[in-house]
Protein backbone atom coordinates (compact mmCIF):
# COMPACT_ATOMS: atom_id res chain seq x y z
CA UNK A 1 0.00 0.00 0.00
CA UNK A 2 1.31 3.48 -0.80
CA UNK A 3 2.45 5.62 2.12
CA UNK A 4 -0.18 8.25 1.24
CA UNK A 5 -3.07 5.79 1.51
CA UNK A 6 -2.17 4.57 5.00
CA UNK A 7 -4.08 5.86 8.02
CA UNK A 8 -1.77 7.99 10.18
CA UNK A 9 -1.64 6.69 13.73
CA UNK A 10 -0.50 8.37 16.94
CA UNK A 11 0.18 6.15 19.96
CA UNK A 12 -0.23 7.67 23.41
CA UNK A 13 1.72 6.11 26.29
CA UNK A 14 2.69 6.81 29.88
CA UNK A 15 5.32 4.17 30.64
CA UNK A 16 6.97 1.02 29.36
CA UNK A 17 5.36 1.05 25.97
CA UNK A 18 5.32 -2.70 25.31
CA UNK A 19 1.94 -2.43 23.54
CA UNK A 20 3.28 0.52 21.58
CA UNK A 21 6.22 -1.64 20.49
CA UNK A 22 3.88 -4.41 19.38
CA UNK A 23 1.85 -1.90 17.37
CA UNK A 24 4.95 -0.34 15.80
CA UNK A 25 6.34 -3.77 14.88
CA UNK A 26 3.05 -4.74 13.26
CA UNK A 27 3.00 -1.59 11.10
CA UNK A 28 6.61 -2.00 9.93
CA UNK A 29 6.39 -2.17 6.12
CA UNK A 30 9.13 -4.82 6.16
CA UNK A 31 6.81 -7.06 8.21
CA UNK A 32 3.54 -6.14 6.51
CA UNK A 33 3.81 -4.15 3.27
CA UNK A 34 0.01 -3.99 2.93
CA UNK A 35 -0.69 -2.66 6.43
CA UNK A 36 -3.37 0.04 6.17
CA UNK A 37 -1.82 2.25 8.90
CA UNK A 38 1.48 3.94 9.62
CA UNK A 39 2.81 5.41 12.88
CA UNK A 40 3.40 9.16 12.77
CA UNK A 41 3.88 10.00 16.46
CA UNK A 42 4.41 8.48 19.89
CA UNK A 43 3.31 10.86 22.59
CA UNK A 44 3.79 10.51 26.35
CA UNK A 45 2.46 12.60 29.21
CA UNK A 46 5.57 11.55 31.18
CA UNK A 47 8.95 12.67 29.84
CA UNK A 48 10.58 9.72 31.68
CA UNK A 49 8.45 7.07 29.91
CA UNK A 50 10.75 4.27 28.74
CA UNK A 51 8.63 3.86 25.61
CA UNK A 52 9.81 7.20 24.18
CA UNK A 53 13.36 5.96 23.58
CA UNK A 54 12.03 2.69 22.12
CA UNK A 55 9.90 4.62 19.60
CA UNK A 56 12.79 6.89 18.66
CA UNK A 57 15.03 3.83 18.18
CA UNK A 58 12.50 2.62 15.60
CA UNK A 59 12.64 5.97 13.84
CA UNK A 60 9.17 7.09 14.95
CA UNK A 61 8.87 10.71 16.15
CA UNK A 62 8.55 10.60 19.95
CA UNK A 63 7.46 13.51 22.07
CA UNK A 64 6.53 14.21 25.67
CA UNK A 65 3.81 16.66 26.67
CA UNK A 66 4.35 16.71 30.42
CA UNK A 67 1.00 16.98 32.20
CA UNK A 68 2.51 18.38 35.40
CA UNK A 69 2.82 22.05 34.40
CA UNK A 70 -0.87 21.90 33.40
CA UNK A 71 -2.10 20.69 36.80
CA UNK A 72 -5.67 21.92 37.31
CA UNK A 73 -6.13 22.80 33.64
CA UNK A 74 -6.88 19.65 31.67
CA UNK A 75 -8.20 21.63 28.72
CA UNK A 76 -4.82 23.37 28.31
CA UNK A 77 -2.97 20.02 28.57
CA UNK A 78 -5.24 18.55 25.92
CA UNK A 79 -4.83 21.61 23.69
CA UNK A 80 -1.08 20.86 23.78
CA UNK A 81 -1.80 17.21 22.92
CA UNK A 82 -4.06 18.28 20.06
CA UNK A 83 -1.41 20.66 18.72
CA UNK A 84 1.16 17.83 18.61
CA UNK A 85 -1.36 15.46 17.01
CA UNK A 86 -2.30 18.01 14.39
CA UNK A 87 1.34 18.84 13.64
CA UNK A 88 1.95 15.12 13.04
CA UNK A 89 -1.17 14.82 10.89
CA UNK A 90 -2.59 12.05 13.08
CA UNK A 91 -5.90 10.53 11.95
CA UNK A 92 -6.24 7.76 14.54
CA UNK A 93 -5.16 7.50 18.17
CA UNK A 94 -4.19 4.31 19.97
CA UNK A 95 -4.09 4.70 23.74
CA UNK A 96 -1.52 2.15 24.91
CA UNK A 97 -1.06 2.39 28.66
CA UNK A 98 -1.90 6.10 28.63
CA UNK A 99 -2.78 6.76 32.26
CA UNK A 100 -4.44 10.19 32.09
CA UNK A 101 -8.21 10.55 31.99
CA UNK A 102 -9.28 12.51 28.92
CA UNK A 103 -12.06 15.11 29.06
CA UNK A 104 -15.36 14.58 27.24
CA UNK A 105 -14.41 17.42 24.89
CA UNK A 106 -11.18 15.70 23.79
CA UNK A 107 -12.96 12.35 23.48
CA UNK A 108 -15.72 13.96 21.40
CA UNK A 109 -13.15 15.45 19.01
CA UNK A 110 -11.63 11.98 18.45
CA UNK A 111 -14.77 9.86 18.76
CA UNK A 112 -14.72 6.98 16.30
CA UNK A 113 -10.99 7.53 15.76
CA UNK A 114 -9.53 6.62 19.18
CA UNK A 115 -8.89 3.10 20.55
CA UNK A 116 -7.81 1.93 24.01
CA UNK A 117 -6.50 -1.32 25.41
CA UNK A 118 -7.63 -2.31 28.89
CA UNK A 119 -6.31 -5.25 30.95
CA UNK A 120 -9.62 -6.98 31.70
CA UNK A 121 -12.59 -8.52 29.96
CA UNK A 122 -14.78 -5.41 29.86
CA UNK A 123 -17.34 -4.64 31.14
CA UNK A 124 -15.76 -6.48 34.10
CA UNK A 125 -13.11 -4.64 36.11
CA UNK A 126 -13.03 -1.13 34.73
CA UNK A 127 -10.32 1.07 36.26
CA UNK A 128 -7.15 -0.06 38.03
CA UNK A 129 -5.81 -3.26 39.76
CA UNK A 130 -7.67 -5.43 37.28
CA UNK A 131 -5.60 -8.61 37.84
CA UNK A 132 -6.01 -8.45 41.63
CA UNK A 133 -9.73 -7.82 41.26
CA UNK A 134 -10.26 -10.72 38.85
CA UNK A 135 -8.59 -13.04 41.38
CA UNK A 136 -10.50 -11.58 44.35
CA UNK A 137 -13.78 -12.00 42.49
CA UNK A 138 -13.04 -15.68 41.83
CA UNK A 139 -13.40 -15.16 38.08
CA UNK A 140 -12.93 -18.27 35.94
CA UNK A 141 -11.25 -16.28 33.19
CA UNK A 142 -9.52 -12.98 32.58
CA UNK A 143 -8.00 -11.15 29.65
CA UNK A 144 -7.90 -7.86 27.81
CA UNK A 145 -10.14 -5.69 25.66
CA UNK A 146 -9.60 -3.21 22.86
CA UNK A 147 -12.45 -0.75 22.56
CA UNK A 148 -13.37 2.55 21.00
CA UNK A 149 -13.03 5.38 23.49
CA UNK A 150 -16.21 7.17 24.53
CA UNK A 151 -16.81 9.71 27.28
CA UNK A 152 -17.41 6.97 29.90
CA UNK A 153 -14.18 5.49 31.36
CA UNK A 154 -13.25 2.03 29.96
CA UNK A 155 -16.47 1.90 27.99
CA UNK A 156 -17.31 2.19 24.31
CA UNK A 157 -17.86 -0.39 21.56
CA UNK A 158 -15.71 -3.50 21.99
CA UNK A 159 -13.44 -4.19 19.01
CA UNK A 160 -11.66 -7.24 20.39
CA UNK A 161 -11.07 -9.40 23.44
CA UNK A 162 -8.51 -12.07 24.32
CA UNK A 163 -9.24 -14.53 27.11
CA UNK A 164 -7.17 -16.73 29.38
CA UNK A 165 -8.44 -19.15 32.04
CA UNK A 166 -7.55 -18.31 35.64
CA UNK A 167 -5.54 -21.28 36.93
CA UNK A 168 -5.06 -22.62 40.45
CA UNK A 169 -2.01 -20.86 41.94
CA UNK A 170 -2.35 -17.78 39.72
CA UNK A 171 -1.07 -14.53 41.23
CA UNK A 172 -1.58 -10.96 40.00
CA UNK A 173 1.94 -11.02 38.52
CA UNK A 174 1.40 -14.31 36.68
CA UNK A 175 -1.91 -13.10 35.32
CA UNK A 176 -0.45 -9.73 34.33
CA UNK A 177 2.30 -11.45 32.33
CA UNK A 178 -0.20 -13.71 30.54
CA UNK A 179 -2.55 -10.84 29.79
CA UNK A 180 0.32 -8.68 28.54
CA UNK A 181 1.27 -11.37 26.00
CA UNK A 182 -2.35 -11.49 24.85
CA UNK A 183 -2.44 -7.70 24.56
CA UNK A 184 0.53 -7.81 22.21
CA UNK A 185 -1.39 -10.19 19.93
CA UNK A 186 -4.77 -8.53 20.17
CA UNK A 187 -4.01 -4.82 19.74
CA UNK A 188 -2.14 -5.16 16.40
CA UNK A 189 -4.90 -7.40 15.02
CA UNK A 190 -7.61 -4.93 15.98
CA UNK A 191 -5.72 -1.89 14.71
CA UNK A 192 -5.08 -3.54 11.35
CA UNK A 193 -8.78 -4.26 10.89
CA UNK A 194 -9.97 -0.94 12.29
CA UNK A 195 -7.65 1.05 10.00
CA UNK A 196 -9.20 -0.83 7.07
CA UNK A 197 -12.71 0.11 8.25
CA UNK A 198 -13.61 -3.25 9.85
CA UNK A 199 -15.13 -2.91 13.31
CA UNK A 200 -16.26 -6.53 13.70
CA UNK A 201 -14.96 -7.68 17.12
CA UNK A 202 -11.94 -10.02 17.17
CA UNK A 203 -12.06 -12.79 19.79
CA UNK A 204 -8.87 -14.62 20.82
CA UNK A 205 -8.23 -17.42 23.29
CA UNK A 206 -4.93 -18.08 25.10
CA UNK A 207 -3.13 -21.06 23.56
Pairing of strands 158-165, 141-148: antiparallel
Q: In what order do the strands lie in the sheet with 158-165?
A: 62-64, 37-44, 7-13, 92-95, 114-118, 141-148, 158-165, 202-205
Asked if residue 187 lies in contact with residue 116, where contact means CB atoms within 8 angstroms, the answer is no
71 is in an annotated binding site: no
Q: Which is nearer to ligand GAR, 16 or 111 (CB)?
A: 16
Can you tell me whether residue 173 is helix, strand or coil?
Answer: helix
Residue 120 CB, nearest distance to ligand GAR (Å)?
Answer: 9
In the complex, what is the shortest distance from the CB of residue 1 to ligand GAR, in angstroms, rounded to a whole number?
A: 26
32: enclosing H helix or E strand: none
Report the C-alpha gap between 156 and 117 in whole angstroms: 11
Point out the residue whose Cβ comes nearest to ligand GAR. 97
Q: Give the nearer residue to ligand GAR in terms of CB position, either 142 or 192.
A: 142
User: Closest distance between ligand GAR and the C-beta of residue 13, in Å?
Assistant: 6
* DSSP state at residue 196: T
SS3 11: strand
Q: Which is nearer to ligand GAR, 146 or 195 (CB)?
A: 146
Q: For binding to ligand GAR (CB under 6 A), which residues are involved?
A: 13, 15-20, 96-97, 117-119, 144, 180, 183
Does the annotation mark 118 as catalytic?
yes
**116 marked as part of a ligand binding site:** yes
Where in the sequence numbering do the catalytic residues fall? 118
Known binding residues: 17-19, 74, 99-102, 116
Known binding residues for (6R)-10-formyltetrahydrofolate: 74, 99-102, 116
Amino acid sequence: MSAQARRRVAILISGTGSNMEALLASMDPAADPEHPATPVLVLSNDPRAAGLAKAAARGVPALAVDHKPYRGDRAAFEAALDAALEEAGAELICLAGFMRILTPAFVARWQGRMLNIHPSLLPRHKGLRTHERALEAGDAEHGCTVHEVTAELDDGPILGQARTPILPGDTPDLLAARVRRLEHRLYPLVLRRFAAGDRTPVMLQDD
